[in-house]
């Protein structure tokens, strides 16, 4: 069962990916994690990726796909995997598609966690973080016991720049320009499944389980 998670930043696709991985006993493959692991372990692919990252460049699609294929070729992926954070663009999807089909393989499901922009802005601007210990809260869903203060270490909570409405709107614009076309790409392949991401997290997961069986 090979799954790609789609959805805007803040739609909750990462959380759902972890829950899918746990239920179906398949790895949750995040491109960020793979890059970090390869760089930390000093692999040839990691060294190559580090050259770009150190200069502040994006890792080229071909190299990203190589690192990804190296990861999904490992034994723990033989029953499938959940891809989170890749592909982000049509060229990336095409490179991945070509590489998988050369291996006689392909994606079974592209699950789009669908949430309107205004919900995402509201959801993300309610996030609060403790810069001291890394704990995260949400003023509506996971509020701290004392407003503005971390339960764990007592430090002040902040709204991170990433979660400010203007930043979120910018990220959403990039998403709609670059990543939204993937929805049409996977729909054309007949593997796209849409789920309503505005409902409770458990209900989103139940809808995904209905799809995956």
CATH number at residue 137: 3.40.50.300
Q: Determine phi and psi for 127, rounding to 5 degrees.
A: -75, 145
212 in any annotated domain = no
**Can you tell me whether residue 3 is helix, strand or coil?**
strand
Q: Is 160 a catalytic residue?
A: yes
Q: Is 122 a catalytic residue?
A: no
Torsion of CA 199, 117, 114, 94, to 10 degrees: -160
171 in any annotated domain = yes
105 in any annotated domain = yes
190 in any annotated domain = yes
Number of domains in the chain: 1
Q: What is the pLDDT of residues 75-103, one digit of tens each?
A: 999 899 999 988 988 989 998 999 889 98
Q: What is the pLDDT of residues 28-86, one digit of tens each?
A: 998 888 888 999 999 999 999 999 888 888 888 889 988 998 998 899 998 999 999 88
- Please give the mean pLDDT across all residues of the chain: 92
Q: Is 50 a catalytic residue?
A: no
0.75 exceeded by pTM: yes
The one catalytic residue in 2, 66, 123, 127 is 127
Q: Is 88 a catalytic residue?
A: yes
213 in any annotated domain = no
The one catalytic residue in 18, 50, 122, 171 is 171
Alpha helices by DSSP H, listed for the chain, are 13-24, 31-40, 44-54, 61-72, 90-102, 117-125, 165-174, 181-188, 201-212
The one catalytic residue in 18, 160, 164, 193 is 160
211 in any annotated domain = no
Q: pLDDT exceeding 70 applies to what percent of the chain?
A: 100
Q: Is 171 a catalytic residue?
A: yes
The one catalytic residue in 2, 66, 71, 88 is 88
Structure tokens of 208? 């995904």
d(CA 201, CA 204): 5
What range does the domain containing 142 cover?
2-206
The one catalytic residue in 13, 66, 71, 123 is 13
d(CA 59, CA 132): 31
């Amino acid at each position: 069962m090979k799954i790609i998670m789609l959805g805007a930043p803040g739609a909750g696709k990462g959380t759902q990916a972890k829950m899918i991985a746990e239920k179906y006993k398949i790895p949750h493959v995040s491109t960020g994690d793979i890059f970090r692991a390869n760089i930390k372990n000093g692999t040839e692919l990691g060294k190559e990726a580090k050259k770009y990252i150190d200069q502040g460049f994006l890792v080229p699609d071909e190299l990203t796909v190589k690192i990804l294929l190296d990861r999904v070729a490992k034994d723990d992926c033989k029953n499938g995997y959940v891809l989170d954070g890749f592909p982000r663009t049509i060229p990336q999807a095409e490179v991945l598609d070509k590489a998988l089909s050369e291996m006689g393989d392909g994606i079974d499901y592209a699950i789009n966690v669908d949430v309107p922009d205004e919900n995402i802005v509201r959801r993300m601007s309610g996030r609060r973080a403790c810069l001291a210990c890394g704990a995260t809260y949400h003023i509506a869903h996971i509020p701290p016991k004392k407003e503005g203060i971390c339960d764990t270490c007592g430090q002040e909570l902040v709204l991170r720049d990433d979660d400010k409405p203007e930043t979120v709107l910018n990220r959403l614009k990039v998403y709609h320009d670059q990543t939204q076309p993937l929805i049409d790409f996977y729909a054309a392949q007949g593997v796209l499944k849409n789920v309503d991401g505005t409902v409770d997290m458990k209900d989103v997961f139940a809808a995904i389980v209905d799809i995956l069986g």
